[in-house]
Structure 1
Amino acid sequence: MEKEKPEIWSLRFILVIIVNALNGLAMYISNPIFANYLIIKGVGFEYTGIISSLLSWVALAFRPFSGAMSDRLNKKKLLIISYSIVGVCILFYAFVNSVPAIIAVRVIHGIAFAVSGTISMSFATTFIPKESTAEGISYLGLSILLGSMIGPQIGKLIFDKLGINMVFYISTIITLICLLVLTLIEYEHPIRSSKLQQELRMEDFFAKELILYVVLISILSLGNGIISYYLVDFGDSRGIDNIALFFTVYSIAMLFMKPFVGKIQDKLGVKVILYPAFVVYAIGIFILAKAKSLLPCLIAAVFKGVGQGNGTPAIQAESVKTLSPERSGVAISTCFIGQDIGNAVGPIFASFIVKKTSYENMFLIYSGLLIIGLIIYLSFNIYKNRKGKLV
């Protein structure tokens, strides 16, 4: 008789989904207008990108520590502290005026962002049955995706109608609601052995077992940095109007795919998701490189949503499954390191190629990198298969 699969939709998991959705909404309401905020505060345009990106760079530097903290300390308490600091930082943006003060708040915000990002997913996995890890992480991604779809529009509307400070006030209120829901979640911190609790090893900061997945997720995330920064300029260079619809179509494609892909991965394995993800994503970027009108760009957006949108959570879920449950924090932080690297390197890679050649060649080269990623993964699995171990 086939064993019944544990139910994923417990009250605690539903509350975790709500917490992640609220946290994502607060972030996406305030982050997209941060460059406008800096200009209002008198920061020169040439410095807005540097100060805005401090959040990501500080988060990248602090990721390894967040994984170690997640695996050793009480996840719920850490989340309450980190979300509280995030809320205070968002509120402080409305009151600070000097550039050094803004930078100081941004750095503290980046540290809290790194901790909360890692621990929120690790915390969530404690309420997901192991047999449904991929499905559960897909739903987590879906909750954040909803915030990314509506948050920027809400933030822009508040900014236009009520001013920049009201954006930060409302984001802070949403973060407080997020904290309130978090306190309702019952959680018992597992007790580690005294030896494991005292010893701090390199594997607590970075999971070397996941190096393959770090490489793959970096390649997938490279496209986020490229497209976020250069898609609009690419559209202008080819006379393509309304190219920003790419992001809407991309989000909708992910919205439809996420509920099904996690279930497929849990049943058939990660390879069934990752092989097509790299192929589809590479085809989408190739279509984008050759696009001369809006329609091919929107088709490319669907391909990106299916490819990168499914590949990234598949790698995250497989990383959690690969390591033991007590190392879920370092599994997630290691994946995030790969994503942060890809997001940070993407714009630098793109600007170098575009300056030397063209947008088309830049997208074609990235499409080729995705195929290389597919070859790396295929070769590694063939190698492991010969040794009797499949990745």
Structure 2
Amino acid sequence: MTEKRPIWTRSFINISISTFFIFTVFYALLTFLPIYVMNELGGTASQGGMAVSVFLVSAIIMRFFAGMILEKYGKRRILILSVLMFAVSTIFYVFVDDFALLLGLRFFHGIWFSLMTTVGGAIAADIVPPERRGEGLGYYGIAMNIAIVAGPFIALTLQPFMAARSIFIIFSVIMVIGFFCALAVRVEEAAPVLREGKRKLSLHDFLETKAMPIASVGFFVSFVYASIVSFISVYAESLGLLKTASYFFLVYAIAMLVVRPFSGRIFDSRGPHIVIIPSCIMFAIGLFSLSITQSPWMLLLSGALVGLGYGTLLPSFQTLAIQSADKHRSGYATGTFFAFYDTGMAIGTASLGIIAVSLGYANLYLMLAVMVLLIALYYVWIMKGHKQAVE
């Protein structure tokens, strides 16, 4: 019997920790900056939203160039540079006290977030054994999911007791630690693809076309998930459950942590369908549960169901995107997937709020539950077409 090659190598542990710190600071800033803009800079709620959205705009734009940059300069080099510049950008918040400068910093910060998250996923995929990639990327994805809880918790816990500058310093210290973890990562670089002569740029230079079908599924899933990230606290407040809402993502993370080790192994041993279809159904049930929530326990149950469903979908789709491409184009595949994913999140955040005003949040979540079931059918259709293309 062939011995399983290990996932938890020194490099995998360090890339996971570095990613965790980056996403922790990302979500902490996502939570803290609207408060900072209104309380410290005298801005409005809409300006607080701009501080969030301009970051996403630059991140999405950079996704289209990330694969080309990784191929030209190498993954480890870009990892070190992007984590360093993400840390430097975080330090700059300590000195910015003007809204226009803050917007410029947010745009600059988003560039390095986009590069790091692209190269981090590509390196993680390269480090883990190919036969255990679903399991390995599932573990890697835990870093991002735990950060969803850790970032806002740190920001909201510190905010009542510390000055904004002190909070930014703490975020900076977290990122300095993340940088030293990135320095410890080692990865075998693929030989660079030589380009003979001058030629016109094509779609292939910006995106991995083989990954686009599954990335489109990720787009629709992230569009739906935007309703959870953006509106769960508003919905809970309308139900008189705001105190319970603070535990929603904690329950979500616990549920995700329970199922993630098993789902990754099943993905590798029995294929993606047996993981992704039940996860879509579980996600849809969680959204339906939200639509009929009237009590604290129902809200927390919904969080657990969403964690079991969505928490498994993201790493599964990312794994399929990377598996669809040649190894030397794993950076392109990762960038393509997250370009679609981030765009879905941005469009969902902007449009679902408008829909919620017309339908109400309960009806919005009911509508999205049906949409997730349709996404499951779309996924089956996409995979059937991919199988026929391979044959």
Bucket of the pairwise TM-score, normalised by the shorter protein: over 0.9
Indicate which of 268, 278, 281 corresponds to 1:279: 281
Alignment of 1:179-218 (within 5 A): 179-195=179-195, 201-218=202-219
Code of the aligned partner of 1:115: L
**Aligned partners of 1:51, 1:246: CA distance in 2, in Å?**
25
Tell me what 1:315 maps to.
Answer: 317
Partner in structure 2 of residue 297 of structure 1: 299
Residue identity in the other structure for 2:165:
N
Q: Report how far residue 95 of structure 1 moved.
A: 0.8
Q: Does 1:32 align with 2:31?
A: yes
- CA separation of 1:146/1:379 partners in 2, compared to 1, >3 Å: closer, same or farther? closer
- In the TM superposition, residue 6 of structure 1 has moved relative to its aligned partner by 1.8
Partner secondary structure for residue 126 of structure 1 = helix
- What SS does structure 1 have at the residue aligned with 2:299? helix
- 1:163 corresponds in structure 2 to 163
How far apart are the structure 1 equivalents of 2:232 and 2:177?
Answer: 35
Deviation at 1:149, TM superposition (A): 2.2
Aligned residues of 1:72 and 1:197 also touching (Cα < 8 A): no
**How much does 1:314 deviate?**
0.2
Corresponding position: 1:6 with 2:33:
no
Aligned residue type for 2:176: L
1:257 aligned partner:
259
Q: Distance in 2 between matches of 1:382 and 1:105?
A: 44
Alpha-carbon distance, 1:322 to partner: 1.3
Please state how far the C-alpha of 1:64 moved relative to its aligned partner: 1.0
How far apart are residue 120 of structure 1 and its match? 1.2
- In the other structure, the counterpart of 2:96 is 96
**Deviation, structure 1 residue 381:** 4.0
Write the distance in 1 (CA, Å) between the matches of 2:93 and 2:304. Answer: 36
Please provide the CA RMSD for this pair: 2.2
Bigger shift: 371-380 or 124-133?
371-380
Distance 1:382 1:239, change over 3 A: same
Distance 2:25 2:386 in 1: 43
Cα distance, 1:197 vs structure 2: 10
Q: Which moved more, 1:229-238 or 1:78-87?
A: 229-238
AA matched with 2:26: M
Note if contact 2:220-2:375 (Cα within 8 Å) is conserved in structure 1. yes
Q: 1:179 to 1:348 in 2, by over 3 A?
A: closer
Structure 1 position 241, deviation (Å):
4.9
Aligned residue identity for 1:51: A
In structure 1, what is the equivalent of residue 234 of structure 2?
233
Helix, strand or coil: the match of 1:90?
Answer: helix
CA distance 1:146–1:237, shift in 2 (3 Å): closer
Aligned to 1:224: 225
Question: Normalised by the size of structure 2, how large is the TM-score?
Answer: 0.92
**Where does structure 2 lack aligned partners over 5 or more consecutive residues?**
none
CA distance in 1, matches of 2:384, 2:21: 42
Shift of 1:325: 0.9
**1:182 partner letter:** A
Q: Distance in 2 between matches of 1:197 and 1:121?
A: 31
Give the deviation of 1:126 after TM superposition: 2.0
Moved more, 307-316 or 150-159: 150-159
Q: Percent identity?
A: 25
- Relative to structure 1, the CA distance from residue 265 to residue 37 in structure 2 (aligned partners, 3 Å threshold; closer, same or farther) is same
Q: Kindly provide the CA deviation profile for residues 78-132 of structure 1, in whole angstroms up to 9, marking residues without a partner as x.
A: 1221112211211111112222211111111011111111111112222111111
Asked if 2 retains the 8 angstrom alpha-carbon contact of 1:54 and 1:106, the reply is yes
Q: How many residues align?
A: 388
Do 1:27 and 1:171's aligned partners in 2 also have CA atoms closer than 8 Å? no
Amino acid corresponding to residue 204 of structure 2 in structure 1? E
Aligned AA (2:342): D
TM-score, normalised to structure 1, is 0.92
Write the distance in 2 (CA, Å) between the matches of 1:239 and 1:182.
Answer: 43
Partner AA of 1:264 in structure 2: I
Give the secondary-structure state (helix, strand or coil) at the position aligned to 1:285. Answer: helix
CA contact (8 A) 2:215 2:321 kept: no
Query: 2 CA distance for matches of 1:347 and 1:162?
Result: 30
Listed as ranges, the matches of 1:110-121 within 5 Å are 110-121=110-121
Structure 1 counterpart SS, 2:191 = coil
**Aligned in 2, Cα 1:118/1:366: closer, same or farther, shift over 3 Å?**
same
Q: Given residue 68 of structure 1, which amino acid in structure 2 is its aligned partner?
A: M
Q: Deviations over 1:48-73 (max 9, x none)?
A: 10122211121112111112212332
Residues of 2 paired with 1:138 and 1:193: CA distance?
Answer: 29
What is the match of residue 355 of structure 1? Answer: 357
2:250 paired residue number: 248
Task: Look up the SS of the partner of 2:127 in the other structure.
Answer: coil
C-alpha deviation, 1:383, in angstroms: 5.0
Tell me, in whole angstroms, the C-alpha distance in 2 between the residues paired with 1:41 and 1:241. Answer: 26
Cα deviations by residue, 1:225-247 (Å, 9 ceiling, x for unpaired):
21222222222333335341222
Amino acid at match of 2:107: V
Partner of 2:154: 154
**Mean Cα deviation higher: 133-142 or 344-353:** 344-353
Kept in 1: contact 2:212–2:337 (CA 8 A): no
Does the Cα contact within 8 Å between 1:70 and 1:118 map onto a contact in 2? no
Contact 2:126 2:187 in 1 (8 A): no
Could you list the runs of 5+ residues in structure 1 that have no partner in the other structure?
none
Q: Cα deviation per residue 1:194-231 (whole Å; 9 max; x = unaligned)?
A: 23898654213112222321221122212332122222
- 146-155 or 256-265: which moved more? 146-155
Indicate how the Cα distance of structure 1 residues 28 and 354 shifts in structure 2: closer, same or farther if over 3 A, else same: closer
> Which residue of structure 2 lines up, in the alignment, with residue 70 of structure 1?
70
The 1:20–1:241 alpha-carbon spacing in structure 2 relative to 1, beyond 3 Å, is closer
Could you tell me how far apart the structure 2 residues matched to 1:194 and 1:204 are? 13
Distance 1:138 1:297 in 2: 26
Letter of the aligned partner of 2:185 in structure 1?
I
Write out per-residue CA displacement over residues 360-388 of structure 1, whole angstroms, 9 at most, x where no aligned residue.
Answer: 22112111111111111223444566x48
